[in-house]
Amino acid sequence: MRKNCAIASIFAFSGLLLISGCDQKREEIVEKPVPVVDVAVNFSDELPGLGGEATGLAFWDHPTLSFNGTLIVANDSGVTSYNMEDGNAVSRIGDHKAQGLAVGYAGFGSQAAGFVTFLDTDESAFRFYGIDNASRAFIPLETGPEIRGAVRGFCLGRAPSENAPTLFVIQKAKLQVFNLAAGSEGIRVANEATIDTPDDLVSCTVDVDGTAILASTSGAIYRLTDETAFDTPFAEGEIADAGDIVVLASTSGEDSAITGQLLLLDKSTGHLHAFDRNSGLALGVISFNDASNQPATGNANVFNATSTNLGAIYRNGVAAFGIADSANEPLVRLVPGNSLMNGLSVAVGDPISPRGKLAETPEDGLKIPTNYQPE
């Protein structure tokens, strides 16, 4: 049974402690799944000249100017950020063979300190780099945890009350959990745990309540809420080769209820399988065409999306696909978030900032913004 709430709780899982984000059980879903309907969506733009096949994609939310947010791309030669407004390169991390990519924040609101993490495959260790709120430049921080064995996927996120996020790392039949904290040199591991899992998990994402959501290679999706999380999938699609999974959360209505979608990439087709965030019901399968009505994401090997306002046509978020084998060179293709929602006939809600919110009054609890600088 899935749990859904807005506060963090601690539960015993395989004899270890894990920070999760839920306490209230959802009502049993008895409706039949909606019919899955293919919807075609044209992509809007592309980013060529990557210098290598993308191994990870992420987005950074600017503290005050939405159009100054960045798309961040990892590949075998390093990590580069690009301005969302014009596609120009902003900052680069070289000399690392980067696999995967995730962005997190320490602190709250406009003063929250963003950072990027990726797996350095040459060193079998995670790297942390801060992102300066003014210049948007990458700032080297202390090295993250070392990993033994192959990494299948990882994700980064936090519950609303947590100052810093948790790093979830998928390996064969286990999930490594690293609760992070702001340290004197940036980000450090506060504590860690290991959880036994099915042996076919390949990707994960973190919901706005702090709950990790994991996907198997065949399209089974699990919400990591308690010791029964892997008994029955929360959602499931007919997928030949599942890739990255993303949760898009937003608020709607007078009570600002949290709604959203889960998007799971099928790398064998380049299609996205969409599910309702709250119920797990299938919403549709999204295919992508270019201006000449040809498949646009058939060779996508990585994917990410955000509902954050990134300005102009991306004011309702954006989806990005790393295309491994285009006609000329590896590139990234972009699709506006409202195109995805319109294709699924889903209302566009109000975005939830990954930066979180500062306490507005003393009664809300003291929140000290974290602005770290390397020594």
Contact 154, 167 (CB under 8 A): yes
Give the mean pLDDT of 45-60.
90
143 burial level (CB within 10 Å; 0-12, 13-18, 19+): middle
Q: Which two tokens stand for residue 128?
A: 């942390």
292 burial level (CB within 10 Å; 0-12, 13-18, 19+): exposed
> What is d(CA 259, CA 276) in angstroms, rounded to the nearest whole number?
8
pLDDT digits (tens, 9 = 90+) for 295-305: 677 778 999 99
* pLDDT exceeds 90 at position 81: yes
Backbone angle region of 42, left / alpha / beta, with phi > 0 → left and psi within -120 to 50 → alpha:
beta
pLDDT digits (tens, 9 = 90+) for 247-270: 999 998 788 899 999 999 999 999
Give the count of alpha carbons within 13 A of 126, CB side only.
26
Q: What mean pLDDT, rounded, does the chain reach?
A: 85
Residue 16's pLDDT is 41
DSSP string, 207-243: -TTS-EEEEETTSEEEE--STTTTTS-SEE---SSEE
Residue 283's pLDDT is 93
pLDDT digits (tens, 9 = 90+) for 203-225: 999 999 999 999 999 999 999 99
Task: Say how many C-beta atoms besides its own lie within 10 A of residue 271's C-beta.
Answer: 23
- Which of 112-126, 158-172, 256-270, 356-370 has the lowest average pLDDT? 356-370
